[in-house]
């Protein structure tokens, strides 16, 4: 845990959330230095996430692989620097945010594959003289409508 708070308060919070390492009384540049060390020592194909809510956390949120801002009470600077913003200040909602992101990415890939497939099919039919411009327009609009409808599935994520 990297914090600008006093040592006693930091240790008490760290004990409650079961964090082993605590660095307290840090200025923003000290937090960035610690994150730089962590980034240099992390294994390949892993990511470093940092959670913060204040102006002092903005540089670290921007530097981490994944910056997560606690947005409801967080500063505008932290929200702007972060990759993810949790709007209810509950870190326990982070797994839900990850599930939503993964599902959204999957749906986006489905939409891309479907759109490219339909467009390729229409192009082949056009080259063979079977499809005309109107069929291509209809297919394009149809793909857009189906992609939007498919994307609405991302809103139905169980908590």
- CB–CB of 53/31 below 8 Å? no
Q: Which residues, other chains included, contact 92 with Cβ-Cβ below 8 Å and sequence gap of 6+?
A: none
Give the separation between CA 93 and CA 54, rounded to whole angstroms.
19
Q: Which residues, other chains included, contact 3 with Cβ-Cβ below 8 Å and sequence gap of 6+?
A: 10, 13, 22, 23, 24, 25, 26
Query: Domain check: are 130 and 82 in the same one?
Result: no
- In the predicted model, is pLDDT for residue 71 greater than 80? no
Q: How many domains does the chain have?
A: 2
On whether residue 112 sits in a domain, the answer given is yes
Report the 10 Å Cβ neighbour count for 131: 17
- CB–CB of 82/68 below 8 Å? yes
Confidence of residue 74 (pLDDT cuts 50, 70, 90): low
On whether residue 2 sits in a domain, the answer given is no
Confidence of residue 31 (pLDDT cuts 50, 70, 90): very high
Query: Domain check: are 41 and 62 in the same one?
Result: yes
On whether residue 1 sits in a domain, the answer given is no
Select the more confidently predicted residue: 71 or 78. Answer: 78
- CB–CB of 140/119 below 8 Å? yes
Give the separation between CA 93 and CA 71, rounded to whole angstroms.
12
Query: Domain check: are 49 and 114 in the same one?
Result: no
- In the predicted model, is pLDDT for residue 157 greater than 80? no
On whether residue 24 sits in a domain, the answer given is yes
Query: Domain check: are 13 and 69 in the same one?
Result: yes
Q: Is 99 left (phi over 0), alpha (psi -120 to 50) or beta?
A: alpha
Q: Dihedral of CA 1/50/17/42: which sign? A: negative
- CB–CB of 60/4 below 8 Å? no
| Domain containing residue 23 | 7-89
- In the predicted model, is pLDDT for residue 89 greater than 80? no
**pLDDT tens per residue across span 16-28:** 888 899 999 999 8
Confidence of residue 56 (pLDDT cuts 50, 70, 90): confident
């Amino acid at each position: 845990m990297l914090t600008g708070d006093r040592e006693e308060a930091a240790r008490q919070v760290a004990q409650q959330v079961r964090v082993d390492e605590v660095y307290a009384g840090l200025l923003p540049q000290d937090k960035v230095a610690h994150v730089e060390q962590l980034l240099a020592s992390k294994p390949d194909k892993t990511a470093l996430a940092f959670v913060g809510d204040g102006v002092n956390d903005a540089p670290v949120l921007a530097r981490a692989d994944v910056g997560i801002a606690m947005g409801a009470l967080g500063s505008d600077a932290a929200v702007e620097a972060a990759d993810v913003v949790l709007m209810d200040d509950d870190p326990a909602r982070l797994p839900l945010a990850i599930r939503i992101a993964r599902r959204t990415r999957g749906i986006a890939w489905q939409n891309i594959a479907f759109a490219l497939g339909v467009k390729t099919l229409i192009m082949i039919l056009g080259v063979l003289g079977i499809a005309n411009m109107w069929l291509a327009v209809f297919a394009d609009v149809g793909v857009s409508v189906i992609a939007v409808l498919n994307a609405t599935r991302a809103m139905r994520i169980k908590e």
